Chain A
């Protein structure tokens, strides 16, 4: 089974009335979609708003999704269109601003735009998660580290990783799982009950 087929299982569940299956798709792709939108808008909070709008559009259009393309390809297209429409409606260019920092009014406006609107707690949490993940990766045995890096950074399939590491596909699956478990264990130790849907960050 491929990622496309796996996502399609969830899509079909949504089409049959399982809204929580759509939540799984959102959880899986939210960071990638926000990253994609950040290529069009600079403000992370605005990117999150656009990503949210794109997901809602996707949910509404899901009955028409027949699986001719992969869900994430379809989703990315919606996100890009939403970002472009958002830019058009605000009559703003995705290209860098022409800054006149000698103008105090414009300077103040630019500072506001560049300011990260995320809460200090949210920023600190993000930074801490990155540190924990990176340190946990460094602590992993070499075969686990290679397997997870090839999967997450290079996007290789299990079969491709197996070929690269000269091991069975089952072993690759096990290595990737064990790498994730080790990182997840570190995360759970640090953020016991505090990681996930923390409403106070909203």
Chain B
């Protein structure tokens, strides 16, 4: 039985086995490793007889190719592939193989892309939160504005009647208390102060409307910044500059 099978194998190796037998033996070869090893040895015997110089008589090339082919696509419906579980639908042309390769890449790239986007959003959120936190911290660290109450001189009160002095101050329009701005060195606020100074310095060369709009824009942009940074003199100058009598008509214009 084995001799008949081995005889068939020898004939198939030489291409001398009838078609039907060849099909049956080919099917058997895919399952029988001993028979495949014998097939290999027949190939080696031929190579040794031909004394092929430089050709190593082993299966290294076949072994490597088999390992690589195992990672390749399986053609047909794959039902004939006893060694691999890879399945494809039908005979696969090269274009389909390229598509399959692209799909494989997409399966790898897509999660990476989503992860990158998620990481970017997370990084931006962290950056934004840190910026907010820094601003709040800086504001919290800034010393509070100081209110100075103008007290009448007690010595003077003893000597004189204090009521007239206070009355005189009220009548002259002078406030009985004022607030000094808190010292602040927040770097992000500096440009607003500089912009205000700039507006004041150039007020006489610019148009009244643009001057007022610039100042209003400055004040409206961040109300928390202005009191803390603009020195009083600058602010007053700016207000005076925008409220000059000759501008009033223009300032009220729609």
| A contacts, CB < 8 Å to B | 1-7, 9-10, 13-24, 26-35, 38, 44, 47-48, 51-52, 55-56, 59-64, 118, 122-123, 125-126, 129-130, 133-134, 137, 148-149, 151-153, 157-158, 169, 173-174, 176-177, 180-181, 183-184, 187-188, 195-199, 201-202
Contact = CB atoms under 8 A, between A and B. Distances in A.
Contacts of A64: 93-94
Dominant secondary structure of chain A at its interface with chain B: helix
Contacts of A60: 72, 94, 97
Interface of B: 6-7, 10-19, 22-23, 26, 29-30, 36-66, 68-70, 72, 74-84, 88, 91-94, 97
A196 B37 contact: yes
Given A26-B62, A56-B68, A176-B10, 11 more contacts: A4-B15, A6-B12, A10-B26, A17-B75, A17-B81, A30-B62, A33-B61, A52-B64, A56-B72, A63-B91, A176-B14
B146 to A, nearest CB: 80
A87 B14 CA distance: 33
Given A19-B84, A60-B94, A133 B49 contact: yes
A118 to B, nearest CB: 6
Q: Which of A27, A47, A133, A134 has most B Cβ within 10 Å? A: A27
Given A63-B94, A152-B46, A184 B41 contact: yes
16 contacts: A17-B76, A27-B62, A30-B59, A31-B43, A63-B93, A118-B56, A125-B57, A126-B56, A153-B49, A158-B14, A173-B7, A177-B7, A180-B10, A184-B41, A199-B63, A201-B60
A73 to B, nearest CB: 13
A31 B46 contact: yes
A169 to B, nearest CB: 8
Contacts of A32: 47, 52
Contacts of B29: 20-21, 24
A83 to B, nearest CB: 14
B68 to A, nearest CB: 5
Top 6 closest pairs, chain A to chain B, by CB: A3-B15, A17-B76, A31-B47, A133-B48, A16-B76, A6-B15
Nearest to A134: B48
Given A35-B55, A196-B40, A20 B83 contact: yes
Contact of A202 (B13, B55, B64, B65): B64
A202 B56 CA distance: 12
B30 A27 contact: no
A22 to B, nearest CB: 6
A29 B91 CA distance: 25
Contacts of B76: 15-18
